[in-house]
Amino acid sequence: MIRVAIANQKGGVGKTTTAINIATAMAATGWRTLLIDLDPQGNASTGIGIPAHSRETSSYDLLVDQAPLASCIVPTSIPGLDIVPATVDLSGAEVELVNVDQRTDRLRRALAQDTAHDIAFIDCPPSLGLLTLNALSAADTLMVPLQCEFFALEGLSQLLQTVERVQQRFNPDLGIVGIALTMFDRRNRLTDQVADDVRACLGNLVFETAIPRNVRLSEAPSHGLPALVYDHACAGSRAYMSLARELIARLPERRKAA
């Protein structure tokens, strides 16, 4: 199973929207997909149609209680897509794991049990704590959503430094599969300037596909649906399908389920 962490230390960059829709797009193309919600806000779980009252087991049980992965997985209404949801209990996991041995390695060990999925996406909280460190330690590679604004560039430099530290201490094999430009608005000159600056600095690491600002992307979570299901023809949905195709081209070869 390929494990992709979706992370950015800055909030509000479209990280959870990207996690939901890229996971849906991968499932739609035939990959058996697992989405792991590691954000205590649980927005990925809500946005995929798993209401808070129905989450009997969660990523908290997986990390803190070391519950078997299979017992924490919940099927979604989308064929080929499962989720490990998050609950508010996860907000206390950082404190509870502080004095635990191998506290940054718990997610990696849990995912080693999985033989049912081709790929897992890990939606990280917008901070660098034990939850994000668990995700980066477990991941084969990192996908970075980047909002096209000036302050996002500062957050990106901090994230790249974090990746270097994780490579040195926890996961020497961690790579970056790509940076996805989000909330792209061609009417705003700053958007083009930030995109040009990022591409000049990081070159081919930046995906060609940019995710536009799109009302339907914003509306979809309130209906408990990915945008690709809520309105598959909208500009945001088409962009995420294009991004999924780019992602597949960058991933190592894996044999998918027949």
Q: How far is CA 181 from CA 15, 43, 71, 195, 240, in A?
A: 11, 20, 35, 7, 11
The pLDDT of residue 258:
35
∠ CA 216-219-221, rounded to 5°: 120
pLDDT at 254 exceeding the cut of 60: no
% residues pLDDT > 70 (the chain): 97
DSSP for 69-96, please give it: HHHH-EE-SSTTEEEE---GGGGGHHHH
Which carries the bigger pLDDT value, residue 14 or residue 73? Answer: 73
pLDDT at 137 over 70: yes
pLDDT at 151 over 80: no
Residue 6, pLDDT score: 96
The pLDDT score that the predictor gives to residue 245 is 96
Check if the beta carbon of residue 32 is closer than 8 Å to that of residue 58.
no
**Domains within the chain, CATH numbers bracketed:** 2-250 (3.40.50.300)
pLDDT at residue 256 tops 70: no
Per-residue pLDDT at 18 exceeds 80? yes
Whether 83 contacts 34, CB under 8 Å? yes
Quick one: average pLDDT of 186-194? 81
What's the rounded mean pLDDT across residues 96-106? Answer: 88
Sequence-ordered strand ranges (E) for 132-233: 141-147, 175-184, 206-212
pLDDT at 139: 96
- Which two three-digit tokens encode residue 155? 């957050």
pLDDT of residue 68: 94
Q: What is the pTM of this model?
A: 0.93
Residue 185, pLDDT score: 85
Q: Which has the higher per-residue pLDDT, 103 or 150? A: 103
Has residue 154 got a pLDDT over 90?
Answer: no
Share of residues in the chain with pLDDT > 90 (%): 69
Average pLDDT, the chain: 90
- Please tell me the predicted confidence (pLDDT) of residue 193: 85
Residue 84 has pLDDT above 50, yes or no: yes
pLDDT in tens, 195-236: 888 888 889 999 999 999 999 999 999 999 999 999 999 999
